[in-house]
Amino acid sequence: MKSVPYISLTFCFLFLSNLHAQLSMPAIFGDNMPLQADRDIPFWGEAAPNAEVTVSFINAKGKVEESETVTSGTDGSWMLELDDLDDGDTGVVKVESSTGDILEFSNVIVGDVWIASGQSNMQWQLRRTDNPEEAIAAADFPEIRLFMVSRIPSLTPIEEVNTDGGWVVCSPETISEYSGVAYYFARYLNEKLDRPIGLICTYWGGTRAEAWTPEERLRTLPLLDQYYENYKDAVENKDQLLAEWEAEVAAWEAAGSEGRRPRRPGDFEDRHAPSALYNSMLHPLIPYAIKGAIWYQGESNAGRHVSYRTLFPAMIDSWRDLWGQGDFPFLYVELANFLEPQVDPVQAPNAWGWIRHAQQHALQMPKTAVATAIDVGMADDIHPTDKETVGERLAMAALNVAYGKRGYHSAKFSSAKKYGNRFIIRVKNAYQGLEVRDDSKRLPFAVKDSEGNYHWAEAKIAGRDIEVHSPDVEDPVAVYYAWANNPVIEVYNSQGLPLLPFRTDFDAEWEAVKELYD
């Protein structure tokens, strides 16, 4: 009997293995998953080459509501879309291959799926918020589903999402490690709308927006087009930079360790690398059908507000482009009050005021809204523990932007007109009018005189308008409100939402780069 060469046996084995490749799908699909209502729903995965793959949604009564079939490619990859499903449906998703492989995902629910992303204040677990024992004990919401993306950076885009546990049902036993902001957001919407809510939790503390933005978009941005080149230089000179840092630390210790310890250079292959978190924590989720996104980030970009004014809208736009769902709602948190409380009419340095200003610039984009945290912060802690207020304000913004319900935006500066030594400030989203919470406290209004000096001002609320003047300034040139890291906030609209901080002039720093944004 003639023997078969080893190479031939190997080839036959590989051919047969590929021919009968196991049916598989990314980890974003699983038991307990929510499916986005009222839009076509993409499904994708791997199968044997040229196999027929059928995906069916079978409702709780055992009836097939939707079913589609596609033939996998020569590499075994496949993708199809189910027609839109009705909100509130429950059932099983069954995936079958013509090779005989079957996948079934149970306890599936149809509702709205939201991305929850950002840095540590979005990551902040429910167990670390105000009244955690009470909140966790009451977190019995079977229509809220949660998915935790593992915190792993990557220098190149990856296709498979890494997860810590897959989809789970919200309960007192499961909720404690998930985002407090995202939980309160989902709870509010579920209770107000009687609608299932899914949360894809993809966040990482201490991270910059650059890490969450795809490379191809970063490379097109003014002020950021050198970001990759700087990163490349840092990688190439890693050993030298570390040696210099070690010498700085040694000198700092020899001098008595006074002041801040020299910061270790870290933009090499970690979470701070450009696009590193988009590549691993967002890219593999696309194109899972979603309703929109909520975002709490900016602290790590404070001090770089000029570039953030370009970067943040570009990041939002890039997510929308890559998801291919059009301008889905994007809701974000304006940074909380932090550091020493305001004493002067205008606080300086004022990194928090500037980054808030840059955040507000994104409101020019369609279907965006801001939920301010400027009145719930803590002077001595960058992580305020009142996440319920923040989550509910995001949900109120969602009611307006995503669900078409009126009356849920924060009050916002609209225009200013000068009459003698007084300004009349017109406020947008005042609704039934503005109110002052505590008349005994000084409102954080200030005016600037023609010589560039700042003065505390008196303010009078008149419905949707605010009259501002200072008896010490005959010819004011600008009005400032809450222009500080940590101002006192006392002006609210009739919905109980704070007036966003503003200034009526453009600083020379903005004028110098204004053409970049026009």
Q: What is the CATH number of the domain that holds 481?
A: 2.60.40
Taken in order 84, 86, 88, 91, the sign of the CA dihedral is: negative
497 assigned to some structural domain: yes
Neighbour count for residue 63 (Cβ, 10 Å): 9
Q: How confident is residue 3, by pLDDT bands cut at 50, 70 and 90?
A: very low
Given this model, what pLDDT does residue 21 score? 67
pLDDT tier at 229 (50, 70, 90 boundaries)? confident
Instruction: Give the pLDDT score at 475.
Output: 96
The confidence band for 508, taking pLDDT boundaries of 50, 70 and 90, is: low
Q: Is residue 462 a part of any domain in this protein? A: yes
Answer whether residue 225 shows pLDDT above 80.
Answer: no
The predicted structure's pLDDT at residue 16? 40
pLDDT of 462 strictly over 60: yes
Query: Residue 267: inside a domain, yes or no?
Result: yes
In a domain, 216, yes or no: no
**Cis status of the peptide bond prior to 34, with omega within 30 of 0:** no
Last residue of a domain, one of 274, 294, 313: 274
Domain coverage including residue 238:
221-274
**Tally of domains within the chain:** 2
Q: What is the pLDDT of residue 416?
A: 94
Please report the pLDDT score of residue 268 as a whole number.
Answer: 66
- Per-residue confidence at 205, pLDDT binned at 50, 70, 90? very high
- Give pLDDT, residue 121: 98
In this structure, is residue 165 part of a structural domain?
Answer: no
Per DSSP, the residues of 139-170 read --EEEEEEEEEP----SS--SS--EEEEEEEE
CA distance readout (Å), 143 to 100, 235, 268 = 33, 46, 41
pLDDT at 241 over 90: no
Q: What pLDDT score was predicted for residue 179?
A: 98
Residue 135 lies in a domain: no
Is 13's pLDDT higher than 80?
A: no
Contact indicator for 289, 38 with CB cutoff of 8 Å: no
The domain boundary residue, chosen from 252, 274, 296: 274
- The per-residue pLDDT for 267 is 61
User: Structure pTM?
Assistant: 0.91
Among the three residues 239, 274, 309, which one is the final residue of a domain in this structure?
274
Amino acid letter, 359: Q
Domain assignment of residue 470, yes or no: yes
Given a cut of 80, is residue 336 above it in pLDDT? yes
Residue 139 above 80 pLDDT? yes
Mean pLDDT across the chain, nearest whole number? 91
Give the CA count within 13 Å in the CB-facing half-sphere of 477.
10
- pLDDT over 90 percentage in the chain: 81
Query: Does the residue 386 lie in any domain?
Result: no
